[in-house]
Structure 1
Amino acid sequence: MIPQPSRGFERAEFERRLQKAQARMRVAEMDAILLTTEPDVRYFTGFFTQFWESPTRPWFIVLPANGKPIAVIPEIGAAGMAGTWVEDIHTWPAPRPEDDGITLLRDIILQLPRKFGRLGVPLGHESLLRMPAGDYQKLLADLSAFDIADASLLLHQLRYLKSPAEIEKIHFICDLTSDAFEHLPNSLKAGESERQNCHRMRIDLLQRGADTTPYLISGSGPGGYDSIIMGPTDRIIETGDVLIIDTGTTFDGYFCDFDRNYAFGSADDDVRRAYEVVFRATDAGFAAARPGATTSDVWAAMWDIMEKGGALGNSVGRLGHGLGMELTEWPSNTPEDKTPLEPGVVLTLEPGMEFAPGKQMVHEENIVITEDGARMLSRRAAPELPVIG
């Protein structure tokens, strides 16, 4: 087990993030960017709280073209935000549905220097606005002096490259979860439900030092499974079943995301062959993942192995994705994505295929791109399908 990293980040980390954002903003001719989501707010401020689970109050951070982030937040968060590196904090007594911070936010944005007359807002794929749609429409009407520019790609690209401190946190939670998966055969039991087996794993992850396990799904069935997102269910696992467990577990706000497959009692030749194909596909994706290559190159390397191995199709739509403060991040490993890989990028490799009508086999590992190629963050799965009992 690797040592647990320290929590949080040095102030210099946030300063570097802001400097990179502001350099890109100048190129994109944006006077400011409005942030409303937990990952974006946390990325630039360090404000880390479970209170985001409450949907009642909106939270706003304004990134100006010059100077530090400006917080426009409910009063309940003032003390927490004051504990970050942010100094310019404006509050209102939320919840106040008739004007939940919108007038205050408008006034602060209008006071900013205007060089380009453009306000960045994340509006594209894999982005969202965490505020009422009616409030956003009102804000736009009050900010007619600004053109609204989509800032989603700019923000995706910033978070795409992880710092050494971020990679350390992801590596730690991958290592911890690898320990739990390697111990799992000792606790998996036929005759019990998916839910019961997954419940024990969730407890084990927490006891090992994980902060949360918000994503722990499973699928099972005789000779393979037909879904990887609907469990854990109360379906009883029987001899001859194959079980997949996929988990997104966190440490200090950073995710791992990988899975493991198990057979109970026995596994037929088709299942063993499918497992061997996706295992080799993962190796191919790993070999292709190096600086100068693209996400599409990684996809092609994995799909070539699966196609030659008899894949009937892939229902997931991609063969992996970015990983970090969110379970799934931009970009995606698809034929069309073509995002260049650089040192510091963290990806999942997730080859999955339908190997028989209604039967899937999916495998996933987590990697980081280095100067020389790629390095595993999760510990590699067994090369042959593990059989329980």
Structure 2
Amino acid sequence: MKSTTPERGFAPAEFEARTARAQALMAERDLSGLLLMTEPEVRYFSGFHTLFWQSPTRPWFLFVPATGKPIAIIPEIGAALMRQTWLEDIRTWAAPAPDDDGISLLSDLLSPFADKRAKIGVMKGHETSLRMPLGDWERLINRLPGLKITDVTDLIQGLRMVKSPAEIEKLAHICAIGSATFDRVPEIVANGMPLDEVFRSFRREALAQGADDAPYVVGGSDQGGYADVISPPSRRPLRSGDILMIDTGCTWDGYFCDFDRNWAIERADDTARRAYDVLWRATEAGIAAARPGNTCQDLFRAMAEVISEMDASGGDIGRLGHGLGMQLTEQPSHAEFDTTELKENMVLTLEPSLSYGHGLMMVHEENIVVRPEGGHLLTTRAPSELTVI
């Protein structure tokens, strides 16, 4: 059953609290500001939510000062929408302007900091990008020789990892929509149906259940299992003995779910049933381990120990899950290398996988929120035994 539909957007107090937390951390590092250029970070501090980011033509900038509200430096085409947010200082230019795409406006804003040889933060680390031409960045820095640039990836990602109650409400809502969509799969999928039509039918059902979009629908299907889970679907029809997996990232009000489900078409062999059972129990181990004070490494090891019953590699395809929120995948990673400490109200994807047979694999996925007693499911838990359609 889908949850009660939350209100769209956030109250100004949400953004005030996010900005205040960032500014407190900035003060500890003697930072005069944060320069943000990518969609999730701009939206996180401003509430500016638009699909227009899909166009690579225009850069967008947000500056979070040490005190006061963030300042937007954006193309004029976004001014009307940005004025609907809690921000007041919105500076625009007619874009695209390849010779000066906001660089003069940025220089004017940052020059006083450069004159004082002040330090500002930019995200430089893993899972970040410079969403402006490198040449423009070089021109900007050359204009501001006194400005000190430092990496604030950990600061921003650390803030975004822990969700507010309002964010968790939206995530729970889209997870409920995704769960309701998966519940309908046995009714809309049948033996002989081409895989690309399976995916189209799933997308239609997700929208009918209330999703704003279903931008990520991948999976696979083959005899006894599947070997690939990221390719576009083919026209191959479903066959008796196939294992079908659908993995979806549906969105509602800019927040993602990200989980999958597995089904057998008409019949399942013992190996596939065993793989499903191992992964279901590995997920249970992950749910139990998702407590504040444990690390992502602990979470990984708890799932990998169960996976090793069938897959000596521990099912390690790099990681066994990740953070979830405004992006389909966020930090942290449930991996041997990630010692990030889990905190209450982190929202995570648990994604154990294993390899078996001749090049086959299976993946199981749930979305949870970290609570003192362990992971609290946002998705409706998958059946404990492989469902046969």
Tell me which residue corresponds to 2:64: 63
CA contact (8 A) 1:31 1:115 kept: no
Q: Structure 1 length as normaliser, TM-score?
A: 0.97
Q: How many residues align?
A: 388
Q: Identity, % of aligned pairs?
A: 51
Whole-angstrom distance in 1 between the partners of 2:331 and 2:213: 22
Q: Give 1:337 deviation, angstroms.
A: 0.3
Tell me which residue corresponds to 2:305: 304
Q: Structure 2 length as normaliser, TM-score?
A: 0.97
Deviation track 1:47-80 (CA, whole Å, cap 9, x = no partner) reads 1111111111110001111111001011111111
Tell me which residue corresponds to 1:16: 17
Q: Give 1:113 deviation, angstroms.
A: 8.7
Q: Quick one: which amino acid aligns to residue 39 of structure 2? A: E
* Partner SS, residue 184 of structure 2: helix
* Partner SS, residue 111 of structure 1: helix
Q: Give 1:311 deviation, angstroms.
A: 4.3
Whole-angstrom distance in 2 between the partners of 1:20 and 1:115: 25
* Partner SS, residue 201 of structure 1: helix
Q: In angstroms, what is the RMSD of aligned CA positions?
A: 1.3
Deviation track 1:272-316 (CA, whole Å, cap 9, x = no partner) reads 000000000000010111011111111000000011233455363
* Partner SS, residue 132 of structure 2: coil
Deviation track 1:152-188 (CA, whole Å, cap 9, x = no partner) reads 1111001001000000000000011101101111111
Q: Give 1:29 deviation, angstroms.
A: 2.1
Deviation track 1:191-244 (CA, whole Å, cap 9, x = no partner) reads 121110111110011011100111000111111100111132222211111111
Structure 1 residues 1-389: aligned runs within 5 Å: 1-112=2-113, 117-312=118-313, 314=315, 316-388=317-389
* Partner SS, residue 85 of structure 2: coil
Whole-angstrom distance in 1 between the partners of 2:9 and 2:181: 24
CA contact (8 A) 1:241 1:263 kept: yes
Q: Which is further off, 249-258 or 232-241?
A: 232-241
CA contact (8 A) 2:114 2:145 kept: no
Q: Quick one: which amino acid aligns to residue 207 of structure 1? A: A
Q: Which is further off, 268-277 or 21-30?
A: 21-30
Whole-angstrom distance in 1 between the partners of 2:198 and 2:138: 47
CA contact (8 A) 1:311 1:355 kept: no
Unmatched segments (≥5 aa) in structure 2: none
* Partner SS, residue 42 of structure 1: helix
Q: Quick one: which amino acid aligns to residue 25 of structure 1? A: M
Whole-angstrom distance in 1 between the partners of 2:137 and 2:236: 44
